[in-house]
Amino acid sequence: MFNFPLPYRDELLYSVIARYRVHQGIVSPKELLDDVYNDRKIVATVDLPSHVNKVSSLYPQREASSPVELIYSHTLFPLYAPFVDEKRRKRCINFMLKQAKGSTHLALGVAASRIKQPRWLRYCPACLIEQQNTFGEYYWSRNWQISGAESCLLHGALIDSNILRHPDHKHEYTPATHHSCQTDAKQQPSSIQSELITQSLDELLQLKPLHSPTLEQWSYFYRTLLFEHGLNRGKHIDYSRLKEKIISSFGRKWLRKYDLYPEDSEICWLKTIFRKHRKAFSYLEHLVVWHSILGSGWQVADIFKQVSLQPKENKASVTPLLDATEKDKTKYRDLWLVAVVKNGVNYARNYKFGYVYAWLYRHDRDWLLQVNNQHKVPNITKNQRIDWHKRDRHLVKLLCRIKNDIELQLDDPRHSMNWYLSKLYCGSTVGKHLNDLPLCKLFFMKFCENIAEYQIRRITCAVIAQSLSNNTLRRWQILRMSGLSDQRLTPLADTFLLRIIGI
């Protein structure tokens, strides 16, 4: 069709068809469908349209209007494609090329996603004026229609038009005009969160079609991220620190708005994204984690590069055995024996003697495994005749030792009961049997750090750092360095800042 309009940069295919309707002066929606698709049952879909082959065939043959190029440059498909596996990505492209009947939305999890799509088509008034000046008409940009990206990076917050994204007349393509959008509407400044997300989404939309990483590669990537940023506690997630990072980066209100506030439930998205991936996560979940953990100075393309370098399948890796002198072996064996006899295998390994364990595992594995087997701590829950009194005294001594060892570590995570339990070789059992362990219970009541104490410790840490660099103490700066804000500050920590630090 020689008079079918070429899409502008980032224009939705939906918008191209709506403009064609205006150019041709077609009033009836059915007539438009007949004209473009030769099929009156097509649904006018904003984000992930189907029958793209048909639209592509309206253009003379060239690369810019090839069906896949249209999908990647003029729909919201790139927001979802890299996060589903390769098989699904290809299947969805096939749905979009032909007749999808809702399958694309189902397969990409859009329909069931906790992240709700904007209700109205949205626009940036200043951009519309620029479009009018440059092209003589308005068009719907795809960048304006994404949940989480609430702003135009150049001009400010987006504004709702009066066109529903899912209108009752589902066959109707409505253009952006001065009837649907008000270019004199006053734009609010955009929020910091929206700017971060919009910037990354712009990058994501501009990526060339890429082979999707496997779910295993995502699992490896997130595991590495956790370890590299010290957000692990042994093999596990240090969830309280992770959660705090997310909340301090995006704020409770914003996270709640998108149903992303990290809960303590085992199935919370923030926990499952750091475990073995069994399903795809949404672009917004990924972006929130990347921004919270990586800070600034990275690009979306760098992340995909890193993910693509991860192993594609879950292969059990075997650490090769290294040579060592008898003298070294004796040295490490002696160290380990003392540690294990005193503390048990798990405690020795996770706390203080990890390096001895690692050395022996690499150089003297058979001996290590044999010794560990002899010093296994009996499973408390299975032993009905356990001497709780004896265990209570033993454990409380361990807890006191942990407390003394960490007393001076000001930059540690909060020393909550769970934190102490994580340092014990049998923490989960202790947690369940607190009533049988009165001394441990007393220890936790007396020594666990509450939120106010933890805030004061962080403030102290920041004050020391500032004083050592001879910087003047400013309240906002100390709060920022401690990852706190006036809203989150407990009354006790507030008093500490005012009366003791004097700011």
Six token digits for residue 261: 């506030």
Nearest-approach distance from CB 196 to Zn ion, in angstroms: 17
> How far apart are the C-alpha atoms of 1 and 55, rounded to whole Å?
10
Residues that bind Zn ion (rule: CB under 5 A) add up to a total of: 6
Nearest-approach distance from CB 491 to Zn ion, in angstroms: 43
Q: Indicate the residue among 154 and 408 with the shorter CB distance to Zn ion.
A: 154
- 268 binding Zn ion? (CB under 5 A): no
Nearest-approach distance from CB 457 to Zn ion, in angstroms: 45
> How far apart are the C-alpha atoms of 163 and 411, rounded to whole Å?
52
Nearest-approach distance from CB 272 to Zn ion, in angstroms: 36
Q: Indicate the residue among 206 and 310 with the shorter CB distance to Zn ion.
A: 206
> How far apart are the C-alpha atoms of 36 and 404, rounded to whole Å?
76
SS (H, E, C) 371-424: HHHHCCCCCHHHCCCCCHHHHHHHHHHHHHHHHHHHCCCCCCCCCCHHHHHHHC
Nearest-approach distance from CB 151 to Zn ion, in angstroms: 8
Asked whether 360 and 333 are in contact (CB, 8 A), the reply is yes
Q: 478 burial class (0-12, 13-18, 19+ CB within 10 angstroms)?
A: buried
Half-sphere exposure of 175 (CA within 13 A, CB side): 20
- Spatial CB neighbours of 238, under 8 Å, sequence gap ≥ 6: 230, 231, 232, 413
Read off the DSSP letter of residue 435. G
The one segment of 114-122, 153-161, 216-224, 397-405 that binds Zn ion by CB under 5 A: 153-161
> How far apart are the C-alpha atoms of 169 and 234, rounded to whole Å?
56
* Single residue of 54, 88, 91, 155 touching Zn ion by CB under 5 A: 155
Six token digits for residue 52: 């793209």
Nearest-approach distance from CB 270 to Zn ion, in angstroms: 32
CA dihedral for 103, 107, 111, 112, sign (positive or negative): positive
Q: Indicate the residue among 187 and 232 with the shorter CB distance to Zn ion.
A: 187
The one segment of 23-31, 149-157, 225-233, 424-432 that binds Zn ion by CB under 5 A: 149-157
Q: Indicate the residue among 48 and 149 with the shorter CB distance to Zn ion.
A: 149
Read off the DSSP letter of residue 43. -
* Single residue of 106, 115, 126, 294 touching Zn ion by CB under 5 A: 126
Q: Indicate the residue among 109 and 125 with the shorter CB distance to Zn ion.
A: 125
The one segment of 16-24, 154-162, 253-261, 371-379 that binds Zn ion by CB under 5 A: 154-162
> How far apart are the C-alpha atoms of 385 and 259, rounded to whole Å?
48
* Single residue of 12, 58, 100, 127 touching Zn ion by CB under 5 A: 127
Nearest-approach distance from CB 17 to Zn ion, in angstroms: 23
Q: Which residue has the tokens 């509450």?
A: 450
Asked whether 389 and 439 are in contact (CB, 8 A), the reply is no
Nearest-approach distance from CB 126 to Zn ion, in angstroms: 5
> How far apart are the C-alpha atoms of 420 and 145, rounded to whole Å?
47
> How far apart are the C-alpha atoms of 348 and 445, rounded to whole Å?
25
DSSP β-bridge partners for residue 152: 156
Q: Indicate the residue among 155 and 403 with the shorter CB distance to Zn ion.
A: 155
Asked whether 176 and 15 are in contact (CB, 8 A), the reply is yes
Q: How far is CA 147 from the centre of its chain?
A: 15
* Single residue of 152, 159, 307, 421 touching Zn ion by CB under 5 A: 152
Q: Indicate the residue among 32 and 127 with the shorter CB distance to Zn ion.
A: 127
> How far apart are the C-alpha atoms of 65 and 67, rounded to whole Å?
6
The one segment of 125-133, 371-379, 442-450, 477-485 that binds Zn ion by CB under 5 A: 125-133
- 124 binding Zn ion? (CB under 5 A): yes
Q: Indicate the residue among 190 and 372 with the shorter CB distance to Zn ion.
A: 190
Q: Indicate the residue among 126 and 337 with the shorter CB distance to Zn ion.
A: 126
Q: Indicate the residue among 159 and 287 with the shorter CB distance to Zn ion.
A: 159
Nearest-approach distance from CB 284 to Zn ion, in angstroms: 21
Q: Indicate the residue among 9 and 256 with the shorter CB distance to Zn ion.
A: 9
Six token digits for residue 245: 């990072």
The one segment of 14-22, 118-126, 256-264, 430-438 that binds Zn ion by CB under 5 A: 118-126
The one segment of 117-125, 278-286, 369-377, 482-490 that binds Zn ion by CB under 5 A: 117-125
Nearest-approach distance from CB 282 to Zn ion, in angstroms: 25
The radius of gyration computed from the CA coordinates of the chain, to the nearest angstrom, equals: 29
- 181 binding Zn ion? (CB under 5 A): no
Q: Indicate the residue among 198 and 282 with the shorter CB distance to Zn ion.
A: 198
> How far apart are the C-alpha atoms of 73 and 68, rounded to whole Å?
9
Q: Indicate the residue among 158 and 462 with the shorter CB distance to Zn ion.
A: 158
What DSSP string describes 77-127?
GGGTGGGS-HHHHHHHHHHHHS--TTHHHHHTTTTT-SSPPPSEEEE-HHH
Nearest-approach distance from CB 257 to Zn ion, in angstroms: 22
The one segment of 20-28, 82-90, 116-124, 409-417 that binds Zn ion by CB under 5 A: 116-124
The residues binding Zn ion (CB under 5 A) are 124, 126-127, 152, 154-155
